[in-house]
Chains A and B, each alone.
Chain A
Amino acid sequence: MSAPLSETEQTMLRDAVRAYLGRDEAPRWPDFAERLGIDAALLDAQQGAIIAEEIGRTRAHLPFADVATAAWLLDRCNAPALPATAIATLAWAEPAMRYDFAGIETHARRDGDGWRLDGTKAVVGWAAEADVLLVAAHTGADALSLFRIDPARTEGLRLSPYRTIDSHPAADLVFENHALPADALIGPEGGALDLLEEARDRALALLAAEAVGLLDNLLEQTIAYTGQRRQFGQPIAGFQALQHRMVDMYLECELARSSAWLAVEALGEAAPERARAVSSAMVNVARACRFVGQQAIQLHGGMGMTDELPVGHYVKRAMAIEVLWADSDWHLARIAGI
């Protein structure tokens, strides 16, 4: 892990990302990774959180959290690192499970020197765009392992790409007797569960940071809109009922910001403390995503229902953040130890 950034360095990083994302053209991953030199930020959650917050603020379609999660897993498994410009994504979720990794049914069996993989993965972000897929699979009872897969080898791999509600690319994957070379296995055979848990907490901390930028922007859009929208002879922001609602949104934004800090700082703790802090953070982030999103649409009135204003797109990204890696009930159960 790199040394913590000074305040000046943090500001410089934030400004650089903001300037890049503020350009007119849509950002593209290899260019973003190369121009901003984000190699270190992929492995450092403090830097990652700064980048993720700016991505949230601009709702940029970039696989930053996916690439960072994969990079961290490769690093921890002592596998060769990828260039930062490559897109890598982790395929874990499946149709027959909810959020517990123990529910993974995809399995790999030895076949000569290599492996054969069978199973289905659901809603894998950036899978069709990825240069590398990391796939979580059983290699025995209660033994989860990680495999590094080249999606260009399509024999025994069916990939159905689509867009998710937040307009990000994703795909469902079906592996049928998919052949893997011996070196596809990364990390300890059967020892991936703890790695996956920690990778999820790191991904969640980045999502929390992204939510901060996203929700701030939703509040700003709502304040601006209600200041300009006139009904009953005045800007609707003049009505106290609506002012108080926006104050409630602000409160949720502030708690989400603190929660993101809590999650990022907890990543260095031992597993139980880390889990409790990250889940506490995410319960609050999910609540903020829900409340701020709903109120942003309500206060935009009919215009909030249209695809032409940004507000709906921000709300839909917030709805994805609520469930990408786990939902509120899963977090609450983890905090309560049930």
Chain B
Amino acid sequence: MLKLTAEETEFRDAVRTFFARDYPAHVIARNKAGQRLTKQDHIDAQRALNARGWLGVGWPREVGGTGWTPAERYIFDQELELAHAAAIIPMAVIYIGPIIAAFGSDQQKADWLPAILESRSFWAQGYSEPEAGSDLASLRFSAVRDGDDYILNGTKIWTSGAQWADWIFCLARTSREERKQQGISLICAPLDLPGISVHPIRLIDGSDELNRIEFDNVRVPVTNRIGDEGQAWHYANVLLKNERLSYAHIGSKKRDLAKLLEEAGRLPANGGGTMDRDPAFRLAHARVAARLAAIEASILRALRSEISMATAAALKIACTECAQAITELGIDVAGRNRLPMLDRGEADWAAAAPATTPFGPVAVQSYLFERAQTIYGGSTEVQKNIIWRSLAGMAR
């Protein structure tokens, strides 16, 4: 049950060949060098996937999607990550695309879906607000009906890639009368409308790809609403169900663990030799690898069966904590090489600290950035509440 079927193995080999042969090599090279990717890099990467019909992951075939089984999708994700290919920017392709496909009007499907697949439009996600983080139901962003328009007011925060995006989809309160979760609608807006301002947020790893977006009396037509008024919570949950394993990233964890051993082979150890021979490092590495093996088996198990909210929450915790443990191993093996804070925007970024291995700054920035994994998408603490709600039932 934890092994791939013959068909799945064949599919895996096809995906592997694709990334080796038909995928932009410069994107892989930049990723391997620890350089930040540009918007054009992502466009090149997505166009290569789309040319093969492999960009609309999680979309139904009728709208240009792959129509993959969960196992096929998992195999694809893993191969993409193992190949050091660019992660698909999730906002348009993974998050809103399937919602448009399932609940959007024919006009919306015709206007928005092809543009996403052809990388003509990028999207941003307007979910979190300054006062609504893990407690998403308490959001305040408002959409007030005015004839055939909505007037949008409020603040969205932690929107990644807003500086590249053309559109944003927002959870907006269209009614204050029902329970907190109700009265929320899903409304889309082009980001260049008057009244919208995008403010980059600089993070502790030196990146500034997250943003705060202010809406000041922004007018959009009612036809920009996806689905029915007040039903966004329902749509988000339907989709969440399909995205339950989206935190797995088993491929990138394997890739990063392998990379750590490779880098350790270049780092000097105390008393001579290199760090890949250091027993303390090897044991710590093995400990994380063993953990990852159990997590991979859990994901494969989950792929082959219906999984509960509690299982999904537990896997989110296990996967994100494992990812963090790998970055922790990275800064540990880097030692003093973790110290320089360098800007990874240019190809020759590492030249700024010539006596330091470039692995160090990459490792420390990953460590800092991945601290967010246990915060976003429902913090670990909130996931534990979800799990406890199901365990508490057992005690009754």
**How many angstroms from the CA of A192 to the CA of B215 in the assembled complex?**
64
Closest to A312 in B: B204
- CB of B131 within 8 A of CB of A230, answer yes
Q: Which of B134, B280, B355 has the most CB of A within 10 A?
A: B355
CA distance A102 to B271 in the complex (A): 8
* Interface-located stretch among B115-123, B230-238, B304-312, B373-381: B373-381
**A251 CB–B CB distance under 8 Å:** no
Q: How far is the CA of A172 from the CA of B356 in the complex (A)?
A: 8
Known: A123-B339, A305-B203. A172 touches B380 (CB 8 A): no
- Contact status A162-B342, CB under 8 Å: yes
- Of the candidates A120, A305, A307, which one forms a contact with B355 in the assembled complex, judged by CB atoms under 8 Å apart? A120
Number of B residues with CB within 8 Å of any CB on chain A: 52
CB within 8 A of A162: which of B131, B135, B352, B367?
A: B352
Chain B residues positioned under 8 Å from A2 (CB to CB): none
A88-96, A110-118, A149-157, A209-217: which one contacts chain B? A88-96
Contact A231–B134 (Cβ < 8 Å)? yes
A250-290 interface with B by 8 A CB criterion: 290
How many cross-chain pairs have Cβ atoms below 8 Å apart between A and B?
A: 147
Give the distance in Å from the alpha carbon of A239 to the alpha carbon of B268 in the complex: 46
Report A94-108 CB contacts with B as 1/0, cut-off 8 Å.
111111101100000
Q: Of all chain B residues, which has the CB nearest A122?
A: B355
Q: Is A165 an interface residue (CB 8 A)?
A: yes
Closest residue to A290 on the B side, CB-wise?
Answer: B328
Residue contact B371 to A123, C-beta cutoff 8 Å: no
- Residues in A neighbouring B356, C-beta threshold 8 A: 95, 122-123, 172
Chain A CB within 8 A of B60 CB = no
Q: Among B134, B267, B331, B339, which residue has its beta carbon within 8 angstroms of that of A301?
A: B134
B368 within 8 A of A: yes
The contact string, 1 if C-beta is below 8 Å from chain B, for chain A 239-253, is 101100000000000
B270 near A323 (CB under 8 angstroms)? no
Q: Output the least CB separation between B380 and chain A (Å).
A: 7
Residues in A neighbouring B381, C-beta threshold 8 A: 239, 241-242
Q: What are 26 A-B contacts defined by CB distance under 8 Å?
A: A93-B336, A94-B355, A97-B268, A98-B270, A98-B335, A103-B271, A160-B354, A163-B341, A164-B339, A165-B338, A165-B339, A165-B364, A170-B339, A172-B356, A173-B355, A241-B381, A301-B133, A302-B372, A302-B375, A304-B204, A304-B375, A305-B210, A305-B375, A319-B364, A319-B367, A329-B281
Q: Which 5 A-B pairs have the closest CB atoms?
A: A312-B204, A172-B355, A122-B355, A231-B135, A307-B202
